Amino acid sequence: MACVTRESLAAEFARHYPGPASPKFWRAPGRINLIGEHTDYNLGFVMPMAIGFSTYVAAAPSHDGKLHAYSTNLNDAREWTPGSLQPAGDWGDYVAGVAKVLVDYQPMNLLIHSEVPTGAGLSSSAALELSVALALLDGRMMEPLDLVRLCRRAENEFVGVPCGIMDQFISGLAKENTALRIDCRGLEYEVVTLPRDVVVVAVNSMVKHELGNSAYRTRVAECAAAARMLGVENLREATTDGGDKRARHVVSENARVEEFRAACAAGDLHKMGELFVASHRSLQHDYEVSCEELDFLVDTAITIDGVYGARMTGGGFGGCTVNLVAPDQVDAFETSITQVYRNRYQIEARVYRSTPAAGAGPF
């Protein structure tokens, strides 16, 4: 579906689930994290924003007691009975996991269509979880933060990814035209308005190294070990790194989030850019979750006119960089960065101009 509308979703739903039922429609956005990387599972500070790419679900009650899901992107279908909600190691786990944690859901026919690029570090998984959760609730009310917690539980306990709460939080509670500065310990948040004279541009490296899955879990364990070494419950509580590289990243990254918030309020684009680059260097050298392609994109971007700063965003080992670009230089930046990257790696990078979007809800 080139342009997603209720009509296009309804037509596709009718193809896969023939019958008189009229579906309801739900959406949840992906996200880009401006700064505060790998700090959420350390109960620190993050500053993400939702993006204009969403996962959409058309849903209507099924009449066979089963939960059905069809992915238009994958041209693939799954079905479950309440007793068969077990991990299978594929995309369906995000659907089944939400149903398992929700417990009280009505059997549904779900048609899922996503615009969020997978493997790009833009949180396609949280967008899927939130949109499916809304569909399974079928209009029943749930406090937004409870919904966010539920979807994180599904990813932690069912899918088995030890992620923090950032992705689900921003997909569920994002505010249009703003970012959120989130305290991942107390789950308080503050709305942050970005300066008008800058554009957030994501560049997708189109690579995702397999090391990313195992390294993520390793970093979670390493941070827990660093906290024990420092005698604190978690690295949010740390005021020094004790010579540990992982702790040094988390402590300094939390400080950068606070500095970035102040720079946004002051409209200090150059300071915002400096913090972006410092964040990337910390992820590159102290946290060691970058990769050659991401480093190349960042190193190239900061040499291009009109770019204030660049950094990797997401889990790492591939995916996207996020760049702060002057509005009148965005076209030239896109042309230059894709050309240089193509010449170096023979890969066609994809570029996404990102306007802060609203969080999950009806479509």
Three-class secondary structure of residue 116 per DSSP: coil
| Cα 120 from Cα 202, distance rounded (Å) | 10
Backbone phi, psi, residue 307, to 5°: -95, 120
For residue 32, what are its two tokens? Answer: 């880009």
Neighbours of 315 (CB within 10 A): 22
User: If we measure between CA atoms, which residue out of 87, 84, 81, 76 comes closest to residue 66?
Assistant: 81
Which position has the token pair 């060691």?
A: 288
Strands 350-354 and 189-192: unpaired
SS3 assignment for 296-318 = HHHHHHCCCCCEEEEEEECCCCE
Backbone phi, psi, residue 128, to 5°: -65, -45
User: Which is the catalytic residue, given 40, 167, 244, 286?
Assistant: 167
Count of all residues that appear for the chain in the document: 363
How far does the chain reach from its first CA to its final CA, in angstroms? 16
Whether residue 258 contacts residue 183, with contact meaning beta carbons closer than 8 Å, is answered with no
| Cα 38 from Cα 168, distance rounded (Å) | 15
| Cα 175 from Cα 152, distance rounded (Å) | 20
**Catalytic site includes residue 197:** no
- Catalytically active residues are 167
